[in-house]
Amino acid sequence: MGGRRSGAKTSSVFRTRITKSLQTSTILTVADNSGAKLAKIIAVKGYHGRLNRYPKACVGDLVIVSIKKGNPDLRKKILKAVIVRQKKEIRRLDGSRISFEDNACCIVADDGDPKGSRVSGPIAREAADLWPRLSNIASLII
């Protein structure tokens, strides 16, 4: 009865469990050169939580953001973004822990292509594994 559904999709990338530390209304710095500077999380794609609990996200998650600061043509727009850095430490399978100085995201299109042509600063390996097109434009993967 509790078996696997026949239509369920399987992912080729193994997703480790990361502490979800970014909830809705968190302000993120935008780490690419798309023209946006600050973004606010307004929703988390694929989040299934309890009733009245705030949706949370972590590194590698796809979120819906509202641009708060940046180019005038991008301000107040609703876009999709991938979280690439978080301040809360990430525990890796080898036992090491890593944390970043800020919470950052990269703006992506609906199909997952990044809007910018380069990423400033490092991105987490967990996000680079899940989003290979983002890792192509990243300068440093930690």
Domain ranges, residue 100: 22-141
Structure-block tokens of residue 5: 């559904």
16 in Cβ contact with 60 (< 8 Å): no
CA dihedral for 97, 141, 15, 58, sign (positive or negative): positive
**CATH code for the domain of 116:** 2.40.150.20
pLDDT value for 15? 77
11 part of a folded domain: no
Separation of alpha carbons 142 and 134, rounded Å = 14
**Rounded to two decimals, what is the model's pTM?**
0.88
Low-confidence stretches of the chain (pLDDT < 70) are 1-14
Separation of alpha carbons 133 and 40, rounded Å = 23
Domain count, the chain: 1
pLDDT value for 13? 65
15 part of a folded domain: no
122 part of a folded domain: yes
97 part of a folded domain: yes
110 part of a folded domain: yes
